[in-house]
Chains A and B, each alone.
Chain A
Amino acid sequence: MSLQAQIEAYLTRVWGSPAVVTMLSRIPGGASRETYRLDVVSGGETRRLILRRDPPGSLIDTERKIEFEAIRSFHGSGLPAPEAVALEEDGAELERPFFIMGRIDGGKAQSPFSVPPYGEHAETIGEQFYSHLGVIARADVADLPLAKVCETPSADACWKKELDYWEGVIDADEEHPQPIVRACIRRLRANPPPPAQKLSVVHGDYRTGNFMHDGAGKIVALLDWEMAHIGDPLEDLGWAMEPLWCYGETDRVSGMVSKARAIAIWEKASGLKVDPVAFAWWELFASVKGQAIWISSANEYRKGGFKDPVLGLSGWYTARRQDVILAERLAALEALS
């Protein structure tokens, strides 16, 4: 049965009326899941949707329920998060786990490899990008659907939970010894950050390329919530400013605004403060997490028979760029005494 027929069978069953799928098209990006754009006509109404289905191999090993509940937590909150429509963890008619969300049209996601990514709209987009992130950090976690499916760590354990997880990924997937990221992990463990000032939703992959803008300076959708969790809000800020996401840029984080301006925008929107010592820890952690993802990509590339070139590129070229960033950050740290 074709994918189109599978989707029609599923939606017809759950909606209780015939559903006809049109314009079904796989779209690039969202490498942790197969992502499809589709229109569905049912009951005289056309719904514009996105299907995210688990692949046989993936860039990131994530729970689709978490992504589903994360977008449900923020849809309708004033942030441009899509609508959560349906979740099937056993795959139902589509045979692999999937979820469906509303589609936000009229925007494009910029590649982190493009130079300059946002042209004349960089400042305007930067204002929204860091303000939206501040709003996510400000949200009261206890009230959100995401809190029901995520572990809530204590404020002083956020860093360890994340570092343990990503070091575990490296331990499991490393195929060639990686002295640089290993040295960074040891530094992070030896110098833990202060406890989180607040437990927040951490988007987990908030960066250039994971939001859509309308080409005229407006962010219209925040995407790729699959690594969402509850933790220290500085984690997201460090990841957003990771140099990997602003190719060729030296003065602007995320290819948008200066680092000082980004922090000021985020502090105003979140009502929180960026402690420089804590943030330095989360910046180095962001580069470690990146390398863990690329090491895992290389492993998945091999396990999948070398068929997914995105995994190959991530596990090779991106990993090497990440090593350059890690080595420079490590070299800039104070000497042992």
Chain B
Amino acid sequence: MTPTVPELLMGNFLAMMDPPPAESAGDYMQAKVGVTGMISLLCAQEAERGIEARVWENAAIRDLLKAAAGRYGERFAEAAASVDRDFSLAAMDRANAALRRALIDLHIAVEAARDGALDTEIRALYVKMADARRLDLPPMPAS
């Protein structure tokens, strides 16, 4: 989840740029081309959905942090106070990293307090977060 679309597409170029040694020109190269194709296909999905997923996730984490601040401390409200103004993937990810760190801290505090209701809410949020970022690889027939 850390490689970005620009890194992956640059990587595809770099992977194909150098001529392979003779012993790597057969099955290995064919598989390598296939993997770069998969990456390109998935990058198209990320380009289409990636910003929307991050806008949603950042907002959802902020809402949760703000709601929990009364019981767990103002530092969570402060962490939620940031505003997304740069909607590039890189900027959204920087904001997301800070929010995720605060979410981890909150979840640890919630577990320590044996707060079952909020723990369940956070685990439900994780399901939505993972689903929002999912990439769909078309099924490939067995060889």
Residues of A within 8 A of B (CB): 2-4, 24-29, 36, 108, 110-111, 113-119, 175-180, 182-183, 186, 190, 247-248, 294-295, 298-299, 301-302, 305-310, 312-313, 315-317, 319-321, 323-324, 326-328, 330-331, 333, 335-337
Contacts and interface: CB of A to CB of B under 8 A. Distances in A.
A295 B2 CA distance: 8
Given A248-B139, A315-B3, A307 B15 contact: yes
A312 B108 contact: no
A238 B131 CA distance: 23
B86 interface: no
B140 A113 contact: yes
Nearest to A108: B143
A317 B126 contact: no
Given A27-B28, A186-B108, A336-B116, A115 B11 contact: no
A313 B35 contact: yes
Contacts of B130: 180, 320, 323-324, 326-328
B123 A331 contact: yes
B101 interface: yes
Given A176-B100, A310-B35, A335-B120, A298 B3 contact: yes
Task: Classify the interface of chain B: helix, strand, loop or mixed.
Answer: helix
A228 B100 CA distance: 34
Contacts of A316: 1-3, 8, 39, 42, 135
A27 B38 CA distance: 19
B114 interface: yes
B15 A308 contact: yes
A312 B108 CA distance: 31
B137 A298 contact: no
B83 interface: no
A115 B1 contact: no
Given A177-B100, A306-B10, A333-B123, 9 more contacts: A27-B27, A27-B28, A111-B140, A115-B140, A176-B2, A312-B7, A316-B1, A327-B130, A336-B111
A324 B93 contact: no
Closest 8 CB pairs between A and B? A306-B11, A28-B31, A177-B100, A115-B139, A26-B28, A327-B130, A175-B2, A323-B130
Interface residues of B, number: 57
Given A327-B127, A331-B127, A336-B111, A24 B23 contact: yes
Contacts of A294: 1
Contact of A180 (B38, B39, B126): B126
Contacts, number: 182
Contacts of A301: 3, 7, 11
B93 to A, nearest CB: 7
B115 to A, nearest CB: 7
Contacts of B123: 183, 327, 330-331, 333
Interface of B: 1-3, 7-8, 10-12, 14-15, 21-24, 26-28, 30-32, 35-36, 38-39, 42, 93, 96-97, 100-101, 103-104, 107-108, 111, 114-116, 119-120, 122-124, 126-127, 129-131, 133-135, 137, 139-143
Contact of B134 (A306, A312, A321): A321
Contacts of B120: 335-336
5 contacts: A28-B27, A36-B23, A114-B140, A182-B104, A333-B123
B27 A312 contact: no
Nearest to B4: A316
Given A177-B100, A308-B15, A320 B1 contact: yes
Nearest to B33: A309
A299 to B, nearest CB: 8
B107 A179 contact: yes
Contacts of A180: 126, 129-130
Contacts of B2: 175-176, 295, 298-299, 302, 315-316
A3 B134 contact: no
B39 to A, nearest CB: 6
